[in-house]
Amino acid sequence: MSLVDLSEQFIVKLFFPLYKERFDSSRKLEVDMTALKAGTLAPSFQLLATPDQRLSLSDFKGRPLVLIFYPADWSPVCSDQLSLYNELIHDFKNLNADLVAISVDGVWCHLAFAEERKLHFSLLSDFEPKGETAKAYGVFREADGTTERALFVIDEEGKISWSYVSPIGINPGADGILEALEALQKKSKAS
């Protein structure tokens, strides 16, 4: 067993009970009322992807964009969720879509996490000012200082065509994203 595997096991055993208690709480959040819905113009953003590179919403204009908000690098559910999207990256590309994921973790944390998980899409840091982009999309968890587990599909013109907020402790999978992208593709071919 490698040092990385041992470290990961240690982190999961140490923090998972705290994570589960903190993020899987049964308190009712009114996220559905605040998260941006289909038909809304997507708020612009410009976030760090690396210490010296920023990506903005306008960088993806002309192509559909899958925008993933997730609570934290290294957490069990987030690791599984982003690994799933990494496995499906070719399906997203075949539907002419780009994919980026956003959390409030710092850029260095993102780089280490992406390297360890061998992710082939950008992780953007909504670190400073903390959660500004998540707040603009209505998916910032003020009490926890993290984001909701939220998915947005943004069309070629920068409008949200589909959105979904998952319970924080549940991996939302990719079916809804793929269906939304297929619907966009059909709409594009019809026009």
User: Which of 82, 67, 80 has its CA nearest to residue 134?
Assistant: 67
Q: Does residue 78 carry a catalytic annotation? A: yes
Where helices occur in 1-159 by DSSP H, the ranges are 3-23, 31-34, 76-87, 89-94, 107-117, 132-136
Residue 126 near residue 104 (C-beta atoms within 8 A): yes
> Which residue among the candidates 31, 55, 78, 123 is catalytic per the annotation?
78
> CA angle at residue 175 from 17 to 181, to 5 degrees?
130
Query: Residue 178: what residue type?
Result: L
- Active site members: 78
